């Protein structure tokens, strides 16, 4: 066939200015297309080791390429349709134009004079294009994944998503469809994904080529596992990370950290990680403790370790002009620069370029010398978008290119630098907290948190959906600040109610971490360096009165008793890419009503969790999936699945159900055999 032929083990299409290639990759197909004369050498999120040989057939009217459970058929004019192993249509390109060779009756619907191609290129300068890729929309389709967005939708059908990194917004562009396919937009360019009723469309503002990967499986679990195989899996989560983490804005000096840790130890509460937040340094970009307030970090870490507590320290990518490293980094070209000129500023600082391997190594070496070698165990990689307040992606340039073309990969590279550095130092399973991610971040030990969300019930509700979609997008390690970040006065009864509900939810998240900027703020303790920054009010569990402390203590102990169960969850995430928290349909895809449920989820496979996200609520309507029996933990009642019940939800309890009277029910009980009270 003139336009379709086999080349280097792939199905190749060439017509007019466009070249297109479909190749086998893992248990799926990779599609690349461009109006340049060749493809770029970037594999982005896909592991190059997963490229495979495919079965290719070329006939008179179409070319066919098959791999695993998916098959692509390409017409002589370049339209692509995707089918599963049963021959069922999964997805087809949106094409509206007259073309010679249309003979089938069903194709006549597409003969209109709109002349809208499925793949469209508008030159954006040089060999870059503004690219649009269009697919036919299906009314009954449900779309999940795609990362983290602050809205009340788990099902993304009808949503328009900005694919750009922002504080609280994370683009991880892998979509899981109820039709049995998953699609990775394998392109870190800034753009949009539009899952409209009339069209599905991906747009990249500046890219050298179209690049996406598609897979098919009979279940959502199969789709997610196929995706994890080609983009990477998380390490095995260390045992300590499965416990309770303590944090606040901000511990101002060494003795304050030790005082809090000693109090947890005195109360015999199993604190596993304590976190030192930002501005513990003299200047941004020094990447070291301010000795005036942190005189002996090695001794601090040693005492914490004696209490069984790991220490995490905040790292920012910003490099202040007064920093001891700013001049050298500028001279070596390790900082993000403007497209025109040399500097691109965040406040009074520049940002190190995490996409530059030399810059990653430079920053890690500073952090190794000034933190890791003192015994600091973990790093909190903040400002990972990076945190420009009004990002103009066309205005600054990274090592890998214009930020409009590759800006979404910054966070992944940020995590990569610390992961590789810690591996070199013998850390078996590196884990670091980070505020942003992209496809493949999981393989670099990225524990993503949802950013600086407000302390409201509305945002608690949003986080439930955000965490589930992050898991489906291949990021199993995810968490949110318990209580929210912005706002929250500990003396306000309304905030205390929110905090308790959020604490219950946080107990059944992949990581349980108490954090927030509480009011009223404290006065600074000094006039220079880190001492000049104010701190939030106390945020330890005893800071909110004895009743709140009693409830939070009980849930910390529940979390600790669940360790064997959580360990199995994390092993599955490590080996298969399975999300730790997952929508009900993940395990019950044959139950249509499970696909509609957005306010409950599975923690592992045997615990159904239904957080209370409405103020003053003491009851919640909960759907229990068909095909199992469900024990209500709070009351001990047993229900047959396939029905909706009114679950009791007093302020001290979260609606929680155990599937088929599983072993996890025993783990929930204390030594007296009690779960509540």
Going from the C-alpha of 548 to that of each of 1, 392, 508, the distances in angstroms are 73, 44, 18
**Could you tell me which of 150, 198, 154 has the C-alpha nearest to residue 176?**
154
Closest of 208, 49, 223, 218 to residue 130, by C-alpha: 208
Distance from CA of residue 555 to its chain's centroid? 25
Which of 205, 225, 253, 382 is an active site residue?
382
| Helix, strand, coil content of the chain in percent (nearest 5) | 25, 30, 45
The partner residues of 615 in beta bridges, in order of sequence, read: none
Q: Is the peptide bond before 386 cis (omega within 30 degrees of 0)?
A: yes
Structure tokens at 62: 């179409």
Q: Considering just the CA atoms, what is the radius of gyration of the chain in Å? A: 26
Question: Is 452 among the residues known to form the active site?
Answer: yes
Say how many residues make up the chain: 677
> What is the rounded distance in angstroms from the CA atom of residue 125 to the CA atom of residue 300?
54
Out of 377, 385, 606, 653, which one is annotated catalytic? 385
Given the residues 277, 320, 400, 452, select the one marked as catalytic. Answer: 452
Kindly report each contact of residues 318-321 with a partner whose C-beta sits within 8 Å and lies 24 or more positions away, as own/partner: 318/284, 318/285, 318/346, 318/347, 318/349, 318/350, 318/351, 318/383, 318/386, 319/284, 319/285, 319/349, 319/350, 319/351, 319/352, 320/283, 320/284, 320/285, 320/348, 320/349, 321/348, 321/349, 321/350
CB neighbours of residue 527 within 10 Å: 7
Residue 132 has phi, psi (to 5 degrees) of -130, 135
Helix (H, G, I), strand (E, B) or coil at 436: coil
Phi, psi of 303 (to 5 degrees): -65, -40
Residue 400 annotated as catalytic: no
CB contact burial 304-342 (16+ within 10 A = b; e otherwise)? beeeebbbbbbbbbbbbeebebbeebbeeebbbbeeeee
Question: 127 an active-site residue?
Answer: no
DSSP string, 595-634: GG--S-EEETTTEEE----STT--EEEEEE-TTSEEEETT
Cα dihedral 396, 402, 407, 413, rounded to 10, equals: -100
Residue 564 contacts residue 541 (beta carbons within 8 Å): no
Q: Catalytic site residues?
A: 382, 385, 452
């Amino acid at each position: 066939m003139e336009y379709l032929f086999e080349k280097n083990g792939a199905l190749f299409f060439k017509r007019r200015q466009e070249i297109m290639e479909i190749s086998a990759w893992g248990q799926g197909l990779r599609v690349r297309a461009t109006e340049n004369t060749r493809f770029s050498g970037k594999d982005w999120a896909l592991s190059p080791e997963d490229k495979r040989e495919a079965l290719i057939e070329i006939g008179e009217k179409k070319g066919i390429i098959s791999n695993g459970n998916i098959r692509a058929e390409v017409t002589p004019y370049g339209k692509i349709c995707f089918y599963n192993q049963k021959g069922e249509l999964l997805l087809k390109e949106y094409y509206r134009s007259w073309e010679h060779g249309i003979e089938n009756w069903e194709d006549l619907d597409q003969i209109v004079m709109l002349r809208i191609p499925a793949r469209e290129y508008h030159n954006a300068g040089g060999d870059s294009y503004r690219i649009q890729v269009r697919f036919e929309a299906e009314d009954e389709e449900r779309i999940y994944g795609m990362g983290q967005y602050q809205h009340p939708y788990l099902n993304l059908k009808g949503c328009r998503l900005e694919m750009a990194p922002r504080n609280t917004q994370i683009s991880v562009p892998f979509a899981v469809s109820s039709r049995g396919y998953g699609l990775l937009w394998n392109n870190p360019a800034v753009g949009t994904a539009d899952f409209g009723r009339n069209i599905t469309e991906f747009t990249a503002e500046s890219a050298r080529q179209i690049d996406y990967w598609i897979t098919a499986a009979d279940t959502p679990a199969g789709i997610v596992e196929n995706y994890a195989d080609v983009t990477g899996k998380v390490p095995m989560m260390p045992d300590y990370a499965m416990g309770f983490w303590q944090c606040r804005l901000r511990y101002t000096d060494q003795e304050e950290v030790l005082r809090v840790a000693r109090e947890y130890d005195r109360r015999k509460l199993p604190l596993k990680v304590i976190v030192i937040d930002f501005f513990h340094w003299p200047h941004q970009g020094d990447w070291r403790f301010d000795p005036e307030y942190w005189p002996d970090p090695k001794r601090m870490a040693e005492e914490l370790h004696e209490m069984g507590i790991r220490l995490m320290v905040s790292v920012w990518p910003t490099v202040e002009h007064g920093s001891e490293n700013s001049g050298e980094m500028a001279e070596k070209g390790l900082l993000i620069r403007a497209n025109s000129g040399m500097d691109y500023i965040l406040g009074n600082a520049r940002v190190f370029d995490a996409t530059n391997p030399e810059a990653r190594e430079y920053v890690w070496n500073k952090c190794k010398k000034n933190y890791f070698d003192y015994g600091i165990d973990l790093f909190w990689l903040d400002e990972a978008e990076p945190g420009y307040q009004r990002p103009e992606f066309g205005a600054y340039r990274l090592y890998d290119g214009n930020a409009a073309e590759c800006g979404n990969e910054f966070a992944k590279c940020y995590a990569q630098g610390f992961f590789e550095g810690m591996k070199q130092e013998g850390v078996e399973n590196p884990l670091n907290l980070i505020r942003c991610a992209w496809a493949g971040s999981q393989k670099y030990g990225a524990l993503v948190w949802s950013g600086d969300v407000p302390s409201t019930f509305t945002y608690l509700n949003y986080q439930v959906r955000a965490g589930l979609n992050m898991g489906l997008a291949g990021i199993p390690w995810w968490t949110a600040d318990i209580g929210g970040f912005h706002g929250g006065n500990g003396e306000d009864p309304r905030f205390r109610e929110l905090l308790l509900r959020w604490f219950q939810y946080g107990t059944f998240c992949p990581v349980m971490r108490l954090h927030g900027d509480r009011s009223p703020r404290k006065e600074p303790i000094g006039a220079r360096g880190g001492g000049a920054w104010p701190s939030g009010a106390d945020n330890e569990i005893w800071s909110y009165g004895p009743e709140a402390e009693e409830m939070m203590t009980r849930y910390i102990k529940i979390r600790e008793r669940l360790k064997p169960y959580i360990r199995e969850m994390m092993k599955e995430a490590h080996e298969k890419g399975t999300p730790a928290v997952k929508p009900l349909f993940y395990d019950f895809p044959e139950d249509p009503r499970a696909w509609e449920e957005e306010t409950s989820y599975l923690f592992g496979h045997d615990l159904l969790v239904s957080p209370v996200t409405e103020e003053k609520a003491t009851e919640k309507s909960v759907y229990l999936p068909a095909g199992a029996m469900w024990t209500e933990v709070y009351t001990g009642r047993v229900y047959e699945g396939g029905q909706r019940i009114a679950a009791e939800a007093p302020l001290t309890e979260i609606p929680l159900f155990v599937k088929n009277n599983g072993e996890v029910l025993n783990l929930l009980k204390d030594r007296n055999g009690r779960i509540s009270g």
